[in-house]
Structure 1
Amino acid sequence: MDINLTVPEIIIRLCLAMLIGGVIGFERQYKNRPAGMRTHILVCMGATIIALIQVEIAASALQDAVNHPELTGVIRSDQARLIAQVVSGIGFLGAGTIIVTKQSVTGLTTAASLWAVAGLGIAIGMGYYAIAVTSFIGVFIALTLVRKVIHVPTTKKLEIRYIHKQETKEFINQYFEEHKIEIEDVNFNVVFVEDTQIYTNIYTIDLPKGMTYAEVIEDLSIHKNITKLRLVSI
């Protein structure tokens, strides 16, 4: 790594940061995530700028030490000082993309991508091109291909609201048994609306291979006594 930066070298690093941040941001924006292309470009370029400043500080300190040998023990430059502030500061921006609701937490991947893009920007700004390019490839693969190649099954809760308890309960249990759906847990609740009893069962179920929750909901919805079906992520 050449510590003496020239204008063309600075332009190359900033353009590379714009390109890498833009590609990752495009993938996030395409999936309608909170932080899109412009945000990722700005984060990557901002981290690159901080790293470039740190490189210049180090170069200036080294030049001063060469010009004034008597001050060698006095002049110091810690190249990790500004970079450490980027790593900690980007956490606040990432936290802003995380949305927490009663049923789910979203935005974690986008927050992680912002943090990773900041790391890429630092690598570019410091001139570690091999680290930047190979890391970019790894991050992009993690965002685009891993989910398609590796399927991680998730456990979800199925909320079923119905009336006429015995008849409907038998229909639900029979459906689960016929389709080999395992019931891991179930919570019961009942409310009275005028003279009608409305039951709400929340099932924790494990689906057999090849079956989807959408199919389960579609099949169960045909029963006249079932008034509500929805998935609750855990």
Structure 2
Amino acid sequence: MSFESVQFEGILCLRILAACICGCVVGYERTNRYKEAGIRTHAIVALGAAMIMIISKYGFSDVNSYDAARVAAQIVSGVGFLGAGIIFVRNQSISGLTTAAGIWATSGIGMAIGAGLYIIGVVSTVLILLVQVVMHRKFFVTKEPMREHLYFVVADGEEGIHYIQKILKKHQIQVTNIKMERKKEKTIQIEVEVIVPVALNQMQLLEQLLKQDVILSVRSAK
């Protein structure tokens, strides 16, 4: 193996590293929103797409005639199946579409950097973050209720659970899904997916929930 060959493969490795970093950046935003696919998933998708793109471009250079796009084209459809596994349908509502779309777009970032289009990959990363962060905020008043995730830690027993249900019902908050896990330190962790009215003051709601001693902590996914 010549020095030029080693140098060239070193440059290709830098492409994979750059794609991995961009994937981590996108995944970090998803992790902060407690989504199913976070830093590791996005990083692996990005570096994997970059690796496959590099193989597609340079892995068959010893073949006289080959279609460099054939292998790379399968990334788009392959990542589509991965994204489909993140989409959930619960109580006639769909969740995970944004994360699935983000994974699909992250694979495009990896393909761009793998092809040597660094500027395209970095700019796409920034644009995805802008869409995920800026567009997530509510700039306009809407009559549509909002879907949120609330996370509780309560003392072991039914009192805290009953109090949570009572307060949510009082504020006309619809519970669409609930998960409970009993911990060794005699506490129960509760994840509640709810639909809340737009006019609801969430800070006041959280403060009211914390007034009960059996509720040790409460936070929203925002």
* TM-score, length of structure 1 as denominator length: 0.57
1:57 to 41, 56, 59: 59
Give the % identical residues: 36
Distance 1:154 1:82 in 2: 46
CA RMSD of aligned residues (A): 2.5
Shift of 1:97: 0.7
Give the letter aligned to residue 131 of structure 2.
Answer: A
> Structure 1's 97 and 154: CA in aligned 2 closer, same or farther, altered over 3 A?
farther
Whichever of the two has the greater Rg, that structure is 1
Query: Does residue 1:131 correspond to 2:120, yes or no?
Result: yes
* TM-score, length of structure 2 as denominator length: 0.60
1:27 to 26, 29, 32: 29
Shift of 1:148: 2.7
Distance 1:147 1:111 in 2: 15
The within-5 A match list for 1:5-154 is 6-57=8-59, 59-61=61-63, 75-148=64-137, 150-151=139-140, 153=142
Distance 1:44 1:152 in 2: 36
Q: Is the 8 A contact 1:98 1:111 kept in 2?
A: yes
Shift of 1:147: 2.4
SS in 1 for 2:34: coil
Distance 1:132 1:34 in 2: 24
Equivalent residue for 1:212? 199
SS in 2 for 1:148: coil
> Structure 1's 60 and 132: CA in aligned 2 closer, same or farther, altered over 3 A?
farther
> Quick check: 111-120 or 128-137, which moved more?
128-137
Shift of 1:112: 0.4
Give CA deviations for 1:135-157 in whole Å, capped at 9, x if unaligned.
Answer: 11111111112223744735349
> Structure 1's 152 and 19: CA in aligned 2 closer, same or farther, altered over 3 A?
farther
> Quick check: 8-17 or 38-47, which moved more?
8-17
SS in 2 for 1:105: strand
Distance 2:92 2:56 in 1: 43
Give the letter aligned to residue 30 of structure 2.
Answer: R
Q: Is the 8 A contact 1:57 1:77 kept in 2?
A: no
Gaps of 5+ in 2: 147-196, 206-222
Distance 1:112 1:43 in 2: 12
Give CA deviations for 1:56-98 in whole Å, capped at 9, x if unaligned.
Answer: 135434xxxxxxxxxxxxx322121111111001111101111
> Structure 1's 154 and 97: CA in aligned 2 closer, same or farther, altered over 3 A?
farther
SS in 2 for 1:147: coil
Distance 2:143 2:110 in 1: 34
Give the letter aligned to residue 127 of structure 2.
Answer: G
> Structure 1's 130 and 59: CA in aligned 2 closer, same or farther, altered over 3 A?
farther
